[in-house]
Structure 1
Amino acid sequence: MTAEAPAPHVWLVPTPVGNLGDITLRAVEVLRGADAVACEDTRRTGALLTHLGVSKPLVRLDAHTMYRAPAVLEEHPRLAYVTDAGTPGISDPGAELVRAAITAGIPVEVLPGPTAFVPALVLSGLPNARFTFEGFLPRSGRERRERLAAVAARAETTVLYESPHRLTDTLNDLAEVCGPTRQASVTRELSKRFEETARGTLEGLASHFAGEVRGEIVVVVAGRPAGEAAPGEEVPDHTALARGWAAEGRSARDIRELLIARGLRKNDAYALALRVTQGA
Protein backbone atom coordinates (compact mmCIF):
# COMPACT_ATOMS: atom_id res chain seq x y z
CA MET A 1 0.00 0.00 0.00
CA THR A 2 1.50 3.32 -1.06
CA ALA A 3 1.23 6.39 1.10
CA GLU A 4 -0.81 9.30 -0.21
CA ALA A 5 1.15 12.28 -1.50
CA PRO A 6 1.04 15.30 0.83
CA ALA A 7 -1.67 17.82 -0.07
CA PRO A 8 -0.60 20.87 -2.09
CA HIS A 9 0.26 23.93 -0.03
CA VAL A 10 1.94 27.31 -0.51
CA TRP A 11 3.88 29.05 2.24
CA LEU A 12 5.02 32.66 2.10
CA VAL A 13 8.15 32.68 4.23
CA PRO A 14 9.61 35.95 5.59
CA THR A 15 13.38 36.23 5.45
CA PRO A 16 15.66 38.66 7.32
CA VAL A 17 15.86 42.24 6.08
CA GLY A 18 19.46 42.32 7.28
CA ASN A 19 20.54 40.32 10.30
CA LEU A 20 20.36 36.61 9.48
CA GLY A 21 19.60 35.91 13.14
CA ASP A 22 16.08 37.24 12.54
CA ILE A 23 15.01 34.06 10.70
CA THR A 24 12.43 32.15 12.73
CA LEU A 25 12.60 28.48 13.66
CA ARG A 26 9.28 27.91 11.93
CA ALA A 27 10.56 29.52 8.74
CA VAL A 28 13.49 27.09 8.66
CA GLU A 29 11.15 24.17 9.33
CA VAL A 30 8.88 25.15 6.42
CA LEU A 31 11.81 25.64 4.05
CA ARG A 32 13.10 22.17 4.93
CA GLY A 33 9.68 20.56 4.41
CA ALA A 34 8.78 22.17 1.08
CA ASP A 35 9.21 20.45 -2.29
CA ALA A 36 10.97 23.53 -3.65
CA VAL A 37 11.68 27.16 -2.80
CA ALA A 38 10.55 29.84 -5.23
CA CYS A 39 12.29 33.19 -5.01
CA GLU A 40 13.15 36.46 -6.75
CA ASP A 41 16.92 35.86 -6.90
CA THR A 42 18.22 32.28 -6.87
CA ARG A 43 21.78 33.34 -5.98
CA ARG A 44 20.70 35.41 -2.99
CA THR A 45 18.25 32.80 -1.75
CA GLY A 46 20.75 30.02 -2.41
CA ALA A 47 23.25 31.75 -0.12
CA LEU A 48 20.58 32.06 2.59
CA LEU A 49 19.63 28.37 2.33
CA THR A 50 23.29 27.36 2.50
CA HIS A 51 23.67 29.45 5.65
CA LEU A 52 20.63 27.67 7.13
CA GLY A 53 21.81 24.21 6.07
CA VAL A 54 18.78 23.71 3.80
CA SER A 55 19.10 22.03 0.41
CA LYS A 56 16.11 22.46 -1.90
CA PRO A 57 15.46 23.04 -5.60
CA LEU A 58 15.27 26.75 -6.36
CA VAL A 59 12.77 28.21 -8.83
CA ARG A 60 12.90 31.81 -9.98
CA LEU A 61 9.56 33.63 -9.65
CA ASP A 62 10.05 37.37 -9.88
CA ALA A 63 8.11 40.20 -11.52
CA HIS A 64 9.26 39.03 -14.97
CA THR A 65 8.60 35.29 -14.52
CA MET A 66 5.51 35.20 -12.28
CA TYR A 67 3.43 34.22 -15.32
CA ARG A 68 4.97 30.76 -14.77
CA ALA A 69 3.35 30.46 -11.33
CA PRO A 70 0.58 27.97 -12.35
CA ALA A 71 3.14 25.64 -13.96
CA VAL A 72 5.46 25.92 -10.94
CA LEU A 73 2.61 25.12 -8.56
CA GLU A 74 1.75 22.06 -10.63
CA GLU A 75 5.37 20.83 -10.65
CA HIS A 76 6.01 21.66 -6.96
CA PRO A 77 2.69 21.30 -5.11
CA ARG A 78 4.21 22.11 -1.71
CA LEU A 79 5.97 25.37 -2.46
CA ALA A 80 7.72 27.83 -0.17
CA TYR A 81 8.10 31.35 -1.52
CA VAL A 82 10.61 33.97 -0.34
CA THR A 83 11.56 37.39 -1.62
CA ASP A 84 14.93 39.07 -1.35
CA ALA A 85 14.12 40.28 2.17
CA GLY A 86 11.15 40.67 4.48
CA THR A 87 7.62 39.31 4.23
CA PRO A 88 6.52 38.28 0.70
CA GLY A 89 3.37 39.78 -0.77
CA ILE A 90 4.03 43.41 0.24
CA SER A 91 5.28 45.55 -2.68
CA ASP A 92 6.65 42.47 -4.45
CA PRO A 93 5.45 39.68 -6.82
CA GLY A 94 4.37 37.43 -3.93
CA ALA A 95 0.85 38.86 -4.18
CA GLU A 96 0.53 37.40 -7.68
CA LEU A 97 1.58 33.96 -6.44
CA VAL A 98 -1.10 34.13 -3.74
CA ARG A 99 -3.75 34.88 -6.37
CA ALA A 100 -2.51 32.03 -8.58
CA ALA A 101 -2.67 29.58 -5.65
CA ILE A 102 -6.17 30.73 -4.67
CA THR A 103 -7.33 30.32 -8.27
CA ALA A 104 -5.91 26.77 -8.28
CA GLY A 105 -7.62 25.98 -4.96
CA ILE A 106 -4.31 25.54 -3.14
CA PRO A 107 -4.20 26.59 0.55
CA VAL A 108 -1.91 29.52 1.28
CA GLU A 109 -0.18 30.18 4.58
CA VAL A 110 1.76 33.34 5.45
CA LEU A 111 4.29 33.00 8.25
CA PRO A 112 4.81 35.97 10.58
CA GLY A 113 8.29 37.38 10.54
CA PRO A 114 10.63 40.19 9.49
CA THR A 115 9.35 43.24 7.64
CA ALA A 116 10.92 46.67 7.14
CA PHE A 117 8.10 49.16 7.47
CA VAL A 118 6.89 48.25 10.98
CA PRO A 119 10.27 48.81 12.74
CA ALA A 120 10.80 52.00 10.72
CA LEU A 121 7.35 53.30 11.68
CA VAL A 122 8.02 52.68 15.37
CA LEU A 123 11.52 54.18 15.14
CA SER A 124 10.15 57.36 13.55
CA GLY A 125 8.56 58.45 16.81
CA LEU A 126 5.59 59.74 14.78
CA PRO A 127 1.95 58.87 15.65
CA ASN A 128 1.29 55.28 14.57
CA ALA A 129 -2.16 54.39 15.92
CA ARG A 130 -3.36 54.98 12.35
CA PHE A 131 -1.13 54.97 9.29
CA THR A 132 -1.17 54.35 5.56
CA PHE A 133 1.38 52.16 3.81
CA GLU A 134 2.06 53.57 0.34
CA GLY A 135 4.78 51.17 -0.74
CA PHE A 136 6.84 52.52 -3.65
CA LEU A 137 5.65 55.74 -5.29
CA PRO A 138 5.34 55.81 -9.09
CA ARG A 139 8.55 57.13 -10.61
CA SER A 140 7.00 59.97 -12.60
CA GLY A 141 3.90 61.34 -14.25
CA ARG A 142 0.39 62.16 -13.13
CA GLU A 143 0.04 59.10 -10.91
CA ARG A 144 3.12 60.16 -8.92
CA ARG A 145 1.76 63.69 -8.51
CA GLU A 146 -1.58 62.33 -7.36
CA ARG A 147 -0.02 59.99 -4.82
CA LEU A 148 2.20 62.77 -3.46
CA ALA A 149 -0.84 65.02 -3.09
CA ALA A 150 -2.62 62.23 -1.21
CA VAL A 151 0.31 61.95 1.22
CA ALA A 152 0.20 65.71 1.80
CA ALA A 153 -3.56 65.70 2.46
CA ARG A 154 -3.63 62.65 4.69
CA ALA A 155 -4.23 63.25 8.41
CA GLU A 156 -2.49 60.04 9.47
CA THR A 157 1.15 59.02 9.16
CA THR A 158 2.32 57.64 5.81
CA VAL A 159 4.99 54.97 5.26
CA LEU A 160 6.88 54.71 1.96
CA TYR A 161 9.54 52.48 0.48
CA GLU A 162 12.17 54.12 -1.71
CA SER A 163 15.36 53.16 -3.52
CA PRO A 164 18.63 54.86 -2.49
CA HIS A 165 19.21 56.68 -5.78
CA ARG A 166 15.68 58.21 -5.78
CA LEU A 167 15.56 59.14 -2.09
CA THR A 168 16.67 62.77 -2.42
CA ASP A 169 14.23 63.48 -5.27
CA THR A 170 11.38 61.94 -3.30
CA LEU A 171 12.19 63.92 -0.15
CA ASN A 172 12.32 67.13 -2.19
CA ASP A 173 9.01 66.30 -3.87
CA LEU A 174 7.43 65.56 -0.49
CA ALA A 175 8.77 68.83 0.93
CA GLU A 176 7.21 70.69 -1.98
CA VAL A 177 3.71 69.21 -1.56
CA CYS A 178 3.66 68.75 2.23
CA GLY A 179 5.61 71.87 3.11
CA PRO A 180 9.30 71.95 4.07
CA THR A 181 8.62 71.78 7.82
CA ARG A 182 6.49 68.61 7.79
CA GLN A 183 8.07 66.11 10.19
CA ALA A 184 9.40 62.83 8.82
CA SER A 185 12.02 60.15 9.29
CA VAL A 186 14.23 58.05 7.05
CA THR A 187 15.40 54.60 8.14
CA ARG A 188 17.96 52.63 6.17
CA GLU A 189 19.95 49.41 6.60
CA LEU A 190 17.53 48.04 9.20
CA SER A 191 19.14 45.43 11.50
CA LYS A 192 22.49 45.82 9.74
CA ARG A 193 25.77 47.20 11.03
CA PHE A 194 25.22 50.72 9.67
CA GLU A 195 21.53 51.03 10.54
CA GLU A 196 20.44 54.66 10.64
CA THR A 197 17.25 56.53 11.44
CA ALA A 198 17.29 60.27 10.75
CA ARG A 199 14.40 62.39 12.01
CA GLY A 200 13.47 65.98 11.26
CA THR A 201 11.74 68.12 8.65
CA LEU A 202 11.40 67.00 5.06
CA GLU A 203 13.64 69.88 3.99
CA GLY A 204 16.29 68.94 6.53
CA LEU A 205 16.19 65.27 5.59
CA ALA A 206 16.52 66.10 1.89
CA SER A 207 19.67 68.05 2.73
CA HIS A 208 20.99 65.29 5.01
CA PHE A 209 20.64 62.62 2.30
CA ALA A 210 21.76 64.80 -0.62
CA GLY A 211 24.91 62.72 -1.17
CA GLU A 212 25.37 59.04 -1.95
CA VAL A 213 22.95 56.81 -0.07
CA ARG A 214 23.06 53.05 0.35
CA GLY A 215 20.74 50.40 1.69
CA GLU A 216 17.03 49.69 1.76
CA ILE A 217 15.04 52.83 2.59
CA VAL A 218 11.83 53.43 4.54
CA VAL A 219 10.43 56.98 4.67
CA VAL A 220 7.83 57.88 7.30
CA VAL A 221 5.92 61.15 6.89
CA ALA A 222 3.80 62.78 9.58
CA GLY A 223 0.15 63.42 8.81
CA ARG A 224 -1.23 66.83 7.96
CA PRO A 225 -1.29 68.91 11.16
CA ALA A 226 -4.70 69.67 12.63
CA GLY A 227 -5.95 72.99 11.36
CA GLU A 228 -3.80 72.89 8.22
CA ALA A 229 -5.83 72.83 5.04
CA ALA A 230 -5.35 70.00 2.60
CA PRO A 231 -3.89 70.96 -0.80
CA GLY A 232 -6.56 72.86 -2.72
CA GLU A 233 -8.71 73.23 0.38
CA GLU A 234 -9.63 76.67 1.73
CA VAL A 235 -8.31 77.40 5.23
CA PRO A 236 -11.26 78.04 7.58
CA ASP A 237 -11.33 81.32 9.52
CA HIS A 238 -11.75 79.81 12.97
CA THR A 239 -11.96 83.16 14.72
CA ALA A 240 -14.78 84.39 12.48
CA LEU A 241 -16.62 81.11 12.91
CA ALA A 242 -16.26 81.23 16.69
CA ARG A 243 -17.50 84.83 16.88
CA GLY A 244 -20.50 83.97 14.76
CA TRP A 245 -21.41 81.04 17.00
CA ALA A 246 -20.95 83.22 20.10
CA ALA A 247 -23.31 85.82 18.59
CA GLU A 248 -25.88 83.04 18.20
CA GLY A 249 -25.62 82.41 21.95
CA ARG A 250 -23.78 79.10 21.81
CA SER A 251 -21.83 78.04 24.89
CA ALA A 252 -18.05 77.94 25.08
CA ARG A 253 -18.19 74.16 25.24
CA ASP A 254 -20.28 73.92 22.06
CA ILE A 255 -18.00 76.35 20.24
CA ARG A 256 -14.94 74.40 21.32
CA GLU A 257 -16.36 71.15 19.94
CA LEU A 258 -17.34 72.82 16.66
CA LEU A 259 -13.86 74.27 16.27
CA ILE A 260 -12.23 70.89 16.93
CA ALA A 261 -14.50 69.32 14.31
CA ARG A 262 -13.17 71.88 11.82
CA GLY A 263 -9.55 70.93 12.45
CA LEU A 264 -8.44 73.26 15.23
CA ARG A 265 -6.24 71.77 17.96
CA LYS A 266 -8.03 71.11 21.25
CA ASN A 267 -6.05 73.63 23.32
CA ASP A 268 -6.41 76.35 20.66
CA ALA A 269 -10.12 75.62 20.30
CA TYR A 270 -10.63 75.87 24.05
CA ALA A 271 -8.76 79.20 24.30
CA LEU A 272 -10.62 80.71 21.34
CA ALA A 273 -14.02 79.55 22.64
CA LEU A 274 -13.34 81.19 25.98
CA ARG A 275 -12.14 84.38 24.35
CA VAL A 276 -15.19 84.91 22.16
CA THR A 277 -17.73 83.97 24.84
CA GLN A 278 -16.11 86.20 27.45
CA GLY A 279 -15.98 89.19 25.12
CA ALA A 280 -12.17 89.34 24.98
Structure 2
Amino acid sequence: MSAPHDSFATEADAAAGTEADVAASLPPTGIVLAATPLGNIADASPRLAHALGSADVVAAEDTRRTRALAAALEVEITGRVVSNFDHNEDARAQDLLDAARTGTVLVVTDAGMPLVSDPGHSIVAAAHDAGVPVTCIPGPSAVTTALALSGLNVGHFIFDGFAPRKPGARRAWLESLAGERRAVCCFESPHRIEQLLIDAASVLGRDRRAAVCRELTKTYEEVKRGTLGELAEWAAGGVRGEITLVIEGGETEQREPEDLVGQVAELVDTGERLKDAVKRVAKEHGVKVGDLYDAALAARG
Protein backbone atom coordinates (compact mmCIF):
# COMPACT_ATOMS: atom_id res chain seq x y z
CA MET A 1 0.00 0.00 0.00
CA SER A 2 1.36 3.40 -0.92
CA ALA A 3 1.90 6.05 1.72
CA PRO A 4 -0.65 8.90 2.03
CA HIS A 5 0.11 11.90 -0.17
CA ASP A 6 2.05 14.57 1.74
CA SER A 7 -0.20 17.39 0.50
CA PHE A 8 -3.18 16.12 2.49
CA ALA A 9 -2.81 17.34 6.07
CA THR A 10 -4.97 16.14 8.93
CA GLU A 11 -7.57 18.52 10.36
CA ALA A 12 -5.39 18.99 13.44
CA ASP A 13 -2.37 19.85 11.32
CA ALA A 14 -4.42 22.29 9.25
CA ALA A 15 -5.78 23.99 12.36
CA ALA A 16 -2.32 24.27 13.86
CA GLY A 17 -0.99 25.70 10.62
CA THR A 18 -3.79 28.23 10.44
CA GLU A 19 -3.18 29.40 13.99
CA ALA A 20 0.53 29.73 13.29
CA ASP A 21 -0.15 31.70 10.12
CA VAL A 22 -2.45 34.08 11.99
CA ALA A 23 0.07 34.59 14.78
CA ALA A 24 2.86 35.23 12.27
CA SER A 25 0.77 37.77 10.35
CA LEU A 26 1.34 40.55 12.89
CA PRO A 27 4.69 42.26 12.30
CA PRO A 28 6.97 42.99 15.28
CA THR A 29 6.95 46.72 14.53
CA GLY A 30 5.05 49.16 12.36
CA ILE A 31 1.54 50.34 11.56
CA VAL A 32 -1.19 47.78 10.89
CA LEU A 33 -4.46 48.96 9.33
CA ALA A 34 -7.37 46.60 9.92
CA ALA A 35 -10.88 46.51 8.50
CA THR A 36 -13.65 45.92 11.03
CA PRO A 37 -17.16 44.50 10.48
CA LEU A 38 -19.80 46.81 9.01
CA GLY A 39 -22.43 45.19 11.18
CA ASN A 40 -22.18 41.41 11.17
CA ILE A 41 -19.61 40.34 13.77
CA ALA A 42 -18.97 37.11 11.84
CA ASP A 43 -17.17 39.17 9.19
CA ALA A 44 -14.29 39.80 11.61
CA SER A 45 -11.24 37.90 10.41
CA PRO A 46 -9.02 35.72 12.63
CA ARG A 47 -6.18 38.11 11.86
CA LEU A 48 -8.21 41.07 13.18
CA ALA A 49 -9.02 39.18 16.38
CA HIS A 50 -5.36 38.24 16.88
CA ALA A 51 -4.22 41.81 16.21
CA LEU A 52 -6.67 43.25 18.72
CA GLY A 53 -5.30 40.97 21.39
CA SER A 54 -1.62 41.28 20.47
CA ALA A 55 -0.91 44.84 19.30
CA ASP A 56 1.14 47.03 21.59
CA VAL A 57 -1.11 50.00 20.82
CA VAL A 58 -4.66 50.04 19.45
CA ALA A 59 -5.55 53.39 17.85
CA ALA A 60 -9.34 53.45 17.64
CA GLU A 61 -11.80 55.91 16.15
CA ASP A 62 -14.07 55.22 19.14
CA THR A 63 -12.39 53.35 21.99
CA ARG A 64 -15.69 52.19 23.44
CA ARG A 65 -16.83 50.61 20.18
CA THR A 66 -13.46 48.93 19.71
CA ARG A 67 -13.56 47.48 23.22
CA ALA A 68 -17.10 46.26 22.52
CA LEU A 69 -15.89 44.62 19.30
CA ALA A 70 -13.08 42.87 21.17
CA ALA A 71 -15.51 41.67 23.83
CA ALA A 72 -17.86 40.30 21.15
CA LEU A 73 -14.91 38.42 19.66
CA GLU A 74 -13.94 37.18 23.14
CA VAL A 75 -10.57 38.88 22.79
CA GLU A 76 -8.74 40.66 25.60
CA ILE A 77 -6.95 43.81 24.49
CA THR A 78 -3.59 43.74 26.27
CA GLY A 79 -2.02 46.80 24.62
CA ARG A 80 -2.58 50.49 25.20
CA VAL A 81 -5.83 51.81 23.70
CA VAL A 82 -5.89 55.40 22.44
CA SER A 83 -8.42 57.46 20.51
CA ASN A 84 -7.61 58.38 16.91
CA PHE A 85 -10.43 60.29 15.24
CA ASP A 86 -10.95 63.15 12.78
CA HIS A 87 -10.23 65.97 15.21
CA ASN A 88 -7.13 64.59 16.94
CA GLU A 89 -5.38 62.31 14.43
CA ASP A 90 -2.94 64.98 13.27
CA ALA A 91 -1.81 65.64 16.83
CA ARG A 92 -1.77 61.91 17.63
CA ALA A 93 0.40 60.90 14.65
CA GLN A 94 3.81 61.52 16.24
CA ASP A 95 2.98 59.51 19.37
CA LEU A 96 1.75 56.60 17.24
CA LEU A 97 4.79 56.85 14.99
CA ASP A 98 7.13 56.65 17.99
CA ALA A 99 5.25 53.60 19.28
CA ALA A 100 5.42 51.94 15.85
CA ARG A 101 9.22 52.13 15.82
CA THR A 102 9.46 49.62 18.67
CA GLY A 103 6.15 47.77 18.55
CA THR A 104 2.94 47.20 16.62
CA VAL A 105 0.29 49.92 16.33
CA LEU A 106 -3.12 48.67 15.17
CA VAL A 107 -5.34 51.32 13.54
CA VAL A 108 -9.08 50.60 13.40
CA THR A 109 -12.23 52.61 12.78
CA ASP A 110 -15.82 52.03 13.86
CA ALA A 111 -16.66 50.01 10.74
CA GLY A 112 -14.94 49.18 7.48
CA MET A 113 -11.48 50.12 6.25
CA PRO A 114 -9.44 52.97 7.79
CA LEU A 115 -8.75 55.96 5.50
CA VAL A 116 -11.83 55.28 3.34
CA SER A 117 -13.75 58.37 4.57
CA ASP A 118 -12.43 57.44 8.03
CA PRO A 119 -9.37 58.38 10.13
CA GLY A 120 -5.95 56.91 9.41
CA HIS A 121 -4.36 59.09 6.76
CA SER A 122 -2.18 61.15 9.11
CA ILE A 123 -0.38 58.21 10.68
CA VAL A 124 -0.01 56.25 7.42
CA ALA A 125 1.45 59.24 5.57
CA ALA A 126 3.83 59.96 8.49
CA ALA A 127 4.91 56.32 8.66
CA HIS A 128 5.72 56.16 4.95
CA ASP A 129 7.69 59.40 5.18
CA ALA A 130 9.64 58.10 8.17
CA GLY A 131 10.34 54.67 6.68
CA VAL A 132 8.22 52.88 9.31
CA PRO A 133 6.55 49.69 7.97
CA VAL A 134 2.86 49.85 7.09
CA THR A 135 0.70 46.81 6.34
CA CYS A 136 -3.00 46.01 6.20
CA ILE A 137 -5.41 43.35 7.39
CA PRO A 138 -8.06 43.49 4.63
CA GLY A 139 -11.72 42.96 5.21
CA PRO A 140 -15.16 44.61 5.06
CA SER A 141 -15.73 47.81 3.10
CA ALA A 142 -19.06 49.50 2.48
CA VAL A 143 -17.79 50.70 -0.90
CA THR A 144 -17.01 47.33 -2.46
CA THR A 145 -19.99 45.69 -0.75
CA ALA A 146 -22.41 48.24 -2.20
CA LEU A 147 -20.84 48.04 -5.65
CA ALA A 148 -21.19 44.26 -5.66
CA LEU A 149 -24.80 44.35 -4.46
CA SER A 150 -25.95 47.18 -6.72
CA GLY A 151 -26.49 45.04 -9.80
CA LEU A 152 -25.29 47.97 -11.90
CA ASN A 153 -22.46 48.26 -14.40
CA VAL A 154 -19.59 48.92 -11.98
CA GLY A 155 -16.62 47.44 -13.85
CA HIS A 156 -15.09 50.92 -13.64
CA PHE A 157 -16.00 53.21 -10.74
CA ILE A 158 -14.95 56.21 -8.67
CA PHE A 159 -15.50 56.76 -4.95
CA ASP A 160 -16.20 60.31 -3.80
CA GLY A 161 -16.60 59.92 -0.03
CA PHE A 162 -19.55 61.80 1.45
CA ALA A 163 -21.64 63.89 -0.92
CA PRO A 164 -21.32 67.66 -0.30
CA ARG A 165 -23.77 68.96 2.30
CA LYS A 166 -24.40 72.48 1.00
CA PRO A 167 -26.87 72.74 -1.90
CA GLY A 168 -24.58 74.76 -4.18
CA ALA A 169 -21.58 72.51 -3.63
CA ARG A 170 -23.73 69.40 -4.04
CA ARG A 171 -25.15 70.58 -7.34
CA ALA A 172 -21.70 71.59 -8.61
CA TRP A 173 -20.42 68.13 -7.69
CA LEU A 174 -23.28 66.45 -9.53
CA GLU A 175 -22.73 68.64 -12.59
CA SER A 176 -19.10 67.50 -12.64
CA LEU A 177 -20.42 63.93 -12.95
CA ALA A 178 -22.75 64.64 -15.88
CA GLY A 179 -20.28 63.27 -18.42
CA GLU A 180 -18.76 60.64 -16.11
CA ARG A 181 -18.74 57.22 -17.79
CA ARG A 182 -17.70 55.35 -14.64
CA ALA A 183 -20.08 54.39 -11.85
CA VAL A 184 -20.00 56.74 -8.86
CA CYS A 185 -20.12 55.53 -5.27
CA CYS A 186 -20.60 57.84 -2.30
CA PHE A 187 -21.82 57.91 1.30
CA GLU A 188 -24.82 59.91 2.49
CA SER A 189 -26.80 60.39 5.70
CA PRO A 190 -30.44 59.26 5.93
CA HIS A 191 -31.48 62.90 6.52
CA ARG A 192 -29.99 64.11 3.23
CA ILE A 193 -30.44 61.16 0.87
CA GLU A 194 -33.84 62.34 -0.43
CA GLN A 195 -32.50 65.75 -1.47
CA LEU A 196 -29.38 64.20 -2.98
CA LEU A 197 -31.53 61.91 -5.13
CA ILE A 198 -33.77 64.80 -6.16
CA ASP A 199 -30.76 66.87 -7.18
CA ALA A 200 -29.12 63.90 -8.90
CA ALA A 201 -32.28 63.23 -10.92
CA SER A 202 -32.39 66.89 -11.94
CA VAL A 203 -28.73 67.15 -12.95
CA LEU A 204 -27.94 63.64 -14.21
CA GLY A 205 -31.36 62.73 -15.57
CA ARG A 206 -34.33 60.95 -14.03
CA ASP A 207 -33.61 57.81 -16.06
CA ARG A 208 -30.05 57.26 -14.86
CA ARG A 209 -29.90 54.04 -12.86
CA ALA A 210 -28.74 53.88 -9.26
CA ALA A 211 -28.92 51.81 -6.09
CA VAL A 212 -29.38 52.90 -2.49
CA CYS A 213 -27.65 50.38 -0.24
CA ARG A 214 -28.41 50.74 3.45
CA GLU A 215 -27.53 48.91 6.66
CA LEU A 216 -25.09 46.67 4.83
CA THR A 217 -24.54 43.24 6.47
CA LYS A 218 -26.98 44.16 9.24
CA THR A 219 -30.38 42.70 10.09
CA TYR A 220 -32.33 45.23 8.01
CA GLU A 221 -29.97 45.34 5.03
CA GLU A 222 -31.72 46.67 1.94
CA VAL A 223 -30.70 47.40 -1.64
CA LYS A 224 -33.19 49.57 -3.51
CA ARG A 225 -32.51 49.75 -7.24
CA GLY A 226 -34.17 51.94 -9.83
CA THR A 227 -33.82 55.15 -11.78
CA LEU A 228 -32.83 58.32 -9.94
CA GLY A 229 -36.37 59.60 -10.44
CA GLU A 230 -37.90 56.47 -8.94
CA LEU A 231 -35.47 56.46 -6.03
CA ALA A 232 -36.14 60.12 -5.25
CA GLU A 233 -39.85 59.34 -4.96
CA TRP A 234 -39.12 56.26 -2.82
CA ALA A 235 -36.88 58.23 -0.45
CA ALA A 236 -39.65 60.76 0.17
CA GLY A 237 -41.13 58.23 2.59
CA GLY A 238 -38.04 58.42 4.79
CA VAL A 239 -34.89 56.29 4.79
CA ARG A 240 -33.07 55.01 7.85
CA GLY A 241 -29.63 53.61 8.55
CA GLU A 242 -26.15 54.06 7.12
CA ILE A 243 -26.33 54.60 3.37
CA THR A 244 -24.03 53.99 0.42
CA LEU A 245 -25.25 55.24 -2.95
CA VAL A 246 -24.13 53.84 -6.29
CA ILE A 247 -24.96 55.75 -9.49
CA GLU A 248 -24.36 54.05 -12.80
CA GLY A 249 -22.07 55.81 -15.28
CA GLY A 250 -23.42 57.87 -18.14
CA GLU A 251 -23.87 56.68 -21.67
CA THR A 252 -20.73 55.28 -23.23
CA GLU A 253 -21.45 56.88 -26.59
CA GLN A 254 -21.67 60.63 -27.15
CA ARG A 255 -25.19 61.68 -28.07
CA GLU A 256 -25.70 63.99 -31.01
CA PRO A 257 -27.61 67.25 -30.33
CA GLU A 258 -30.28 66.29 -32.87
CA ASP A 259 -31.01 63.14 -30.84
CA LEU A 260 -31.79 65.21 -27.75
CA VAL A 261 -34.18 67.74 -29.25
CA GLY A 262 -37.17 65.64 -28.18
CA GLN A 263 -36.13 65.81 -24.52
CA VAL A 264 -35.80 69.58 -24.78
CA ALA A 265 -39.27 69.83 -26.34
CA GLU A 266 -40.79 67.78 -23.51
CA LEU A 267 -39.37 70.15 -20.90
CA VAL A 268 -40.58 73.19 -22.85
CA ASP A 269 -44.06 71.65 -23.02
CA THR A 270 -44.10 71.51 -19.22
CA GLY A 271 -43.48 75.27 -19.05
CA GLU A 272 -39.68 75.42 -18.84
CA ARG A 273 -37.92 78.13 -20.82
CA LEU A 274 -36.14 76.91 -23.95
CA LYS A 275 -32.73 78.13 -22.79
CA ASP A 276 -33.12 76.47 -19.38
CA ALA A 277 -34.33 73.23 -20.94
CA VAL A 278 -31.40 73.18 -23.36
CA LYS A 279 -28.93 73.84 -20.57
CA ARG A 280 -30.30 71.02 -18.43
CA VAL A 281 -30.38 68.41 -21.20
CA ALA A 282 -26.93 69.42 -22.43
CA LYS A 283 -25.45 68.89 -18.98
CA GLU A 284 -27.20 65.55 -18.57
CA HIS A 285 -25.69 64.20 -21.78
CA GLY A 286 -22.39 66.03 -21.98
CA VAL A 287 -23.07 67.96 -25.19
CA LYS A 288 -22.37 71.62 -25.91
CA VAL A 289 -25.18 73.97 -24.96
CA GLY A 290 -24.78 76.04 -28.13
CA ASP A 291 -24.97 73.02 -30.41
CA LEU A 292 -28.11 71.72 -28.71
CA TYR A 293 -29.72 75.17 -28.76
CA ASP A 294 -29.12 75.48 -32.51
CA ALA A 295 -30.56 72.00 -33.07
CA ALA A 296 -33.64 72.85 -31.01
CA LEU A 297 -34.24 76.05 -32.99
CA ALA A 298 -33.77 74.20 -36.27
CA ALA A 299 -36.33 71.60 -35.22
CA ARG A 300 -38.86 74.33 -34.55
CA GLY A 301 -38.56 75.35 -38.18
TM-score, normalising length: structure 2 = 0.71
From 74, 89, 102, give the equivalent of 2:98. Answer: 74
> In the alignment, what sits opposite 2:77?
55
Within 1, Cα distance between the matches of 2:62 and 2:44? 18
Structure 1, unaligned runs of 5 or more: 1-5, 230-234, 239-262, 264-280
Residue 196 of structure 2 is matched in structure 1 by: 170
Q: CA deviation at 1:157?
A: 1.1
The alignment partner of 2:115 has SS state of coil
Find 2:124's aligned residue among 94, 98, 105.
98
Residue aligning to 2:242 = 216
5+ unaligned residues in a row in structure 2: which ranges?
Answer: 1-26, 260-285, 287-301
1:126 is paired with a residue whose SS is coil
- Give the AA of the match of 2:180: R
Equivalent residue for 1:89? Answer: 115
SS of alignment partner, residue 165 of structure 1 = coil
* Residue deviations 1:114-160 (CA, integer Å, cap 9, x gap): 11111211211111211111111221265433321122220121111
1:9 matches 2:36: no
Equivalent position amino acid for 2:96 in 1: V
Structural mapping, 1:244-259, within 5 Å: none
Over the residues paired in the alignment, what is the CA RMSD in angstroms?
Answer: 2.3
Contact 2:57/2:99 (8 A) holds in 1: no
Amino acid at match of 2:72: H
Q: Of residues 42, 55, 73 in structure 2, which corresponds to 1:21? A: 42
Partner of 2:217: 191
Aligned 1:94-133 pairs, distance under 5 A: 94-133=120-159
String of CA shifts for 1:217-247, please: whole Å, max 9, x gaps.
1111111124465xxxxx4447xxxxxxxxx
Give 3-state SS (helix, strand or coil) of 1:220's partner: strand
Matched AA of 2:76: V
The residue type paired with residue 68 of structure 2 is A
In structure 2, relative to structure 1, the CA distance for the partners of 1:85 and 1:211 (3 Å cut) is: same
Task: Provide the C-alpha distance between the structure 2 equivalents of 1:174 and 1:140, rounded to a whole number of angstroms.
Answer: 14
SS at match of 2:174: helix
Which residue pairs with 2:24 in the alignment?
none
**112-121 or 52-61: bigger deviation:** 52-61
Q: SS in structure 2 opposite 1:164?
A: coil
Helix, strand or coil: the match of 1:187? strand
- Post-superposition shift, 1:24? 0.5
- Contact kept in structure 1, 2:171 and 2:203, CA below 8 Å: no
User: In 1, are the aligned partners of 2:97 and 2:123 still within 8 Å (CA)?
Assistant: no
Q: Distance in 1 between matches of 2:254 and 2:194?
A: 25
After superposition, the C-alpha distances for 1:33-91 in whole angstroms (9 at most, x for unaligned) are: 21021111111111001112222332101010102211233246410010110011111
* Structure-2 separation of matches of 1:211 and 1:217: 15
- 2:81 is aligned with 1:35: no
Query: What percentage of aligned pairs have identical amino acids?
Result: 44
CA distance in structure 2 between the aligned counterparts of 1:150 and 1:97, rounded to whole angstroms: 31
**Counterpart residue identity of residue 180, structure 1:** R
